[in-house]
């Protein structure tokens, strides 16, 4: 797009009166009524009006000076003939009234952009469903082989009708759009056979859009004239594209900066080393000093995104993330414990659930073993000391010590216990006959 100052032939320091004088001269030179049938002059007239609309508005001119035409706040979207009328006070002397037609509607679409495409400012293609000008009637709505258009008999070509009404305050005059021609001032008796008199047809077109370098998600781009086509010579609408950024595998965008997380082990962070990291311009080696803490940053200047509507680039920030191992081999655990002892770091190890369960069952097993060994030394309630001590394992009796003097343990049913050493057969009966209600197997002599 041409520079607005160059279109009007003024420099950037020109004041409002100089801009207006330049516009008046060029508008009279390229006005369509003075150049009938000259399409190039008509396009130049549109560009001149657009340039004046921006440079005559202090706020739009300020935004244009800072950001250029990529900023939709510094562009004009109105009717160029309204600007012409505001400067010249209406139509030129001797010029005929101009029929403006029906403008096309604006369209919206979503555009997905990668980080690389936004950084390079690539030209992308987006498919759009829209209305385009009929290639038979060229938007005129009337069939080329028919009678063409005729002046609307209701409004007589004005496009509006007036109505008068009497009220308490007097005569009230109202103006509204003509109901027959819908404000166009003309009616079509023989509509176009291809578009049925609509002047445009549905189509799916590929629209190219140039991305501003450094654009980010959430922005809206305006593609002028890429919307629906107008009718009866009306201007086309615009296409608005909402930018959606695709997440990158390596980088996270933070404004103009790019963040990359470099994961290191504990030994790497403690000892320091050199590491290769990816950038948008290719791999690059960075140095990480000894004792680097998790969360530390290394900044690579100028490796980020281009600054939108400005000069320069952001940075790439390499963030250090120290990973703690979740599982250790026995050797690694031993070395870490040795390091903790050397560094004076207290390690209070807690038993795991499995270790606590094992310890609990081990204590109960010891208590049971101790209880089983001391049972014969007590008093049997049923009077049968031999069966009480020997029934569980078949080796205890109440009279084993008397029959086997060499047995140091009372009530022990070892094979050397004699005929009365068997708690199941001899020992039990003997103990019952001698012991009565109280069988003292430990006192056998």
Q: What is the pLDDT of residue 301?
A: 96
- Range with the lowest mean pLDDT among 126-140, 306-320, 398-412? 398-412
146 three-state secondary structure:
coil
Q: Is 64 exposed, middle or buried (0-12, 13-18, 19+ CB in 10 A)?
A: buried
Q: What is the pLDDT of residue 83?
A: 58
Confidence of residue 82 (pLDDT cuts 50, 70, 90): low
Q: Any idea which architecture 1-98 has in CATH?
A: Orthogonal Bundle (1.10)
- The tokens describing 240, both together, are 């608005």
What average pLDDT does the segment 311-337 reach? 93
Residue 321 has pLDDT above 70, yes or no: yes
* Structural contact between residues 108 and 183, judged by C-beta atoms closer than 8 angstroms: no
Q: Residues 242-264: pLDDT tens digits?
A: 999 999 999 999 999 999 999 99
90 contact partners, CB below 8 Å, separation of at least 6 = none
- Range with the lowest mean pLDDT among 140-149, 241-250, 368-377, 378-387? 378-387
Residue 387 has pLDDT above 70, yes or no: no
What is the C-alpha to C-alpha distance for residues 304 and 314, in angstroms, rounded to an integer? 4
Q: Residues 152-194: pLDDT tens digits?
A: 888 887 788 888 777 666 677 788 888 888 777 888 888 999 9
Residue 40 has pLDDT above 80, yes or no: yes
User: What are the sequence ranges of the domains in the chain?
Assistant: 1-98, 353-443
Report field, pTM of the whole predicted structure over 0.75:
no
Q: Residues 205-222: pLDDT tens digits?
A: 999 999 999 999 999 999
Confidence of residue 34 (pLDDT cuts 50, 70, 90): confident
């Amino acid at each position: 797009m041409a520079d607005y100052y160059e279109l009007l032939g003024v420099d950037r320091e020109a004041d409002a009166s100089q801009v207006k004088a330049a516009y008046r001269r060029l508008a009279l030179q390229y006005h369509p009524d003075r150049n009938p049938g000259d399409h190039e002059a008509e396009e130049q007239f549109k560009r001149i009006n657009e340039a004046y609309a921006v440079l005559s508005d202090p706020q739009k001119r300020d935004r244009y000076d800072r950001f250029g035409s990529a900023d939709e706040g510094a562009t004009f979207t109105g009717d160029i003939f309204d600007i012409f009328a505001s400067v010249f006070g209406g139509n030129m002397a001797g010029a005929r009234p101009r029929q403006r037609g029906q403008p096309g509607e604006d369209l919206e679409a979503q555009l997905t952009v990668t980080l690389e495409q936004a950084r390079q400012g690539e030209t992308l293609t987006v498919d759009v469903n829209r209305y385009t000008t009929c290639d038979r009637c060229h938007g005129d709505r009337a069939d080329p082989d028919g009678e063409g258009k005729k002046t609307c008999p209701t409004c007589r070509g004005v496009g509006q009708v007036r109505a008068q009404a009497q009220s308490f305050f007097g005569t009230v005059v109202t103006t509204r759009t003509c109901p027959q021609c819908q404000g166009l001032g003309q009616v079509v008796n023989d509509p176009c056979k291809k578009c049925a008199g609509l002047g445009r047809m549905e189509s799916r077109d590929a629209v190219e859009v140039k991305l501003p370098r450094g654009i980010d998600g959430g922005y809206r781009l305006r593609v002028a004239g890429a919307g629906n086509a107008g009718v009866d010579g009306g201007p086309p609408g615009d296409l608005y594209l909402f930018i959606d950024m695709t997440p990158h595998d390596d980088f996270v965008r933070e404004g103009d900066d790019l963040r990359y997380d470099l994961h290191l082990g504990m030994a790497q962070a403690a000892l320091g080393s050199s590491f290769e990291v990816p950038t948008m311009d290719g791999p690059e080696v960075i140095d990480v000093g000894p004792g680097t803490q998790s969360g530390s940053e290394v900044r690579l200047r100028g490796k980020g995104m281009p600054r939108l509507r400005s000069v320069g680039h952001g940075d790439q920030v390499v963030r250090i993330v120290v990973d703690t191992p979740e599982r250790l081999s026995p050797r690694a655990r031993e070395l870490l414990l040795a390091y903790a002892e050397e560094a004076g770091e207290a390690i209070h190890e807690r038993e795991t659930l499995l270790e606590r369960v094992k310890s609990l069952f081990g204590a109960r097993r010891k208590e049971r073993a101790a209880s089983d060994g001391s049972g014969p030394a007590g008093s049997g309630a049923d009077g049968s000391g031999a069966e009480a001590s020997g029934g569980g394992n078949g080796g205890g009796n109440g009279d084993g010590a008397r029959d086997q003097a060499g047995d140091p343990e009372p009530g022990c049913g070892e094979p050397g216990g004699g005929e009365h050493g068997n708690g199941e057969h001899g020992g039990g009966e003997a103990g019952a006959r001698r012991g009565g209600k109280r069988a003292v197997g430990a006192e056998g002599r």
